[in-house]
Amino acid sequence: MKKHNFSAGPSILPDFTIKNTAEAVVNFAGTGLSVMEVSHRDKEFMAVMDQATTLFKELLDIPSGYQVVFLGGGASMQFCMVPYNLLNKKAAYLNTGTWASKAIKEAKFFGDVVEVGSSKDENYSYIPKGYTIPADADYFHITTNNTIFGTEIREDLDVNVPLVADMSSDIFSRPIDVSKYGIIYGGAQKNLAPSGVAFAIVKEDILGKTDRPIPTMLNYKTHIDNDSMFNTPPVLPVFSALQTLIWLKDQGGVAAMEKRNIRKANMLYSEIERNKLFKATVKHEEDRSVMNICFVMNEEYKELETAFREYAISLG
């Protein structure tokens, strides 16, 4: 029986991705070598990187003026790279959970950080609204999906400063208007590939405006100018990411994935609302994630948590 891992990440990958990656580990593109031991500058792997970049742009309908790069360090490195490249004097952040808090912590090393809204007062169980973004902010940072607390921003915000989004756990889950963002980034292990690679979609004209020198490896322009090949990229995760991108296209793309995700989420939320054993951790429906459906046992059934967990494990 195929078991299912409901962890936020590393999480389940399509069988298509796993099968093709396993085959490439033994014999990559007919080279007789494993994908783990070929040069990243061989034509066979260069083709993988080129196709992954092209499909990334196609699936998300990324407009001209933007570049896609694959990087090491995970989304946590982006918590540092974003302010290093963009924060000159002041940045605005929306605090909606653990990962947003970590991003805020890193940004404070580079300049003033204005926390325009926070849901920490209620254990991050809602998306703050009615906040004001300073007009002189260098950028506004959001975390679109919060895996731990089960909230999600499911719209492309209209703001008057460059918008930066951590989309680690909901990238490719719905169509997005990339033109509304300055940078979209994420770790791949929650929705795209095994851990080890991060992605960034960067609007080129927002770069080069800070006063500080930027270390070569932390400069987005380095990786854009070198097509993600400035140093050895995470070869295996990039190959796996390509397989998932191919699979996503074959499934009908992000519009089809959005319909599938909403259908599955509605099924789960309906049962949580119906069943007296459970309660959702996010009260307001408009704030609920369709990627991570978080719930707990109602207080009167807390003693059944262990039995419920063991039963779920027994079913895979």
- pLDDT tens-digit series, residues 26-69: 999 999 999 999 989 889 999 999 999 999 999 999 999 999 99
Task: Indicate which residue of 138, 170, 190, 287 is catalytic.
Answer: 190
Residues in the chain: 316
Question: Does 210 carry a binding-site annotation?
Answer: no
**Amino acid of residue 266:** N
pTM of the predicted protein model: 0.95
Q: How far is CA 39 from the centre of its chain?
A: 28
Residue 301, classified by CB atoms within 10 Å of its CB into exposed (0-12), middle (13-18) or buried (19+), is middle
Task: Indicate which residue of 2, 15, 61, 99 is catalytic.
Answer: 99
Nearest CA to 113 out of 135, 134, 90 is that of 90
Question: Does 232 carry a binding-site annotation?
Answer: yes
247 is catalytic: no
Question: Does 51 carry a binding-site annotation?
Answer: no
Q: How far is CA 236 from the centre of its chain?
A: 19
Q: Mention every residue, 6+ apart, whose C-beta is less than 8 A from residue 13.
A: 193, 194, 240, 244
Nearest CA to 93 out of 164, 195, 148, 196 is that of 164
At 216-248, the pLDDT tens digits run 999 999 999 999 999 999 999 999 999 999 999
The overall average pLDDT reported for the chain is 95
Task: Indicate which residue of 138, 166, 170, 287 is catalytic.
Answer: 166
Question: Does 174 carry a binding-site annotation?
Answer: no
Cβ atoms of 174 and 154 closer than 8 Å: yes
108 is catalytic: no
Q: What is the mean pLDDT of residues 183-202?
A: 94
E strands in 39-128: 66-71, 90-95, 112-118
Element holding 295 (H helix, E strand): strand 295-297
List of domains in the chain: 22-250 (3.40.640.10), 253-314 (3.90.1150.10)
Asked whether residue 10 carries a pLDDT value surpassing 90, the answer given is: no
Question: Does 247 carry a binding-site annotation?
Answer: no
Task: pLDDT band for 111, please (50, 70, 90 cuts).
Answer: very high
**Amino acid of residue 119:** S
Task: pLDDT band for 1, please (50, 70, 90 cuts).
Answer: low
pLDDT at 315: 84
Question: Does 41 carry a binding-site annotation?
Answer: yes
Asked whether residue 251 carries a pLDDT value surpassing 70, the answer given is: yes
Distance separating alpha carbons of residues 247 and 35, to the nearest angstrom: 19
Asked whether residue 7 carries a pLDDT value surpassing 80, the answer given is: no
190 is catalytic: yes
Distance separating alpha carbons of residues 250 and 316, to the nearest angstrom: 27
At 115-174, the pLDDT tens digits run 999 999 999 999 999 999 999 999 999 999 999 999 999 999 999 999 999 999 999 999
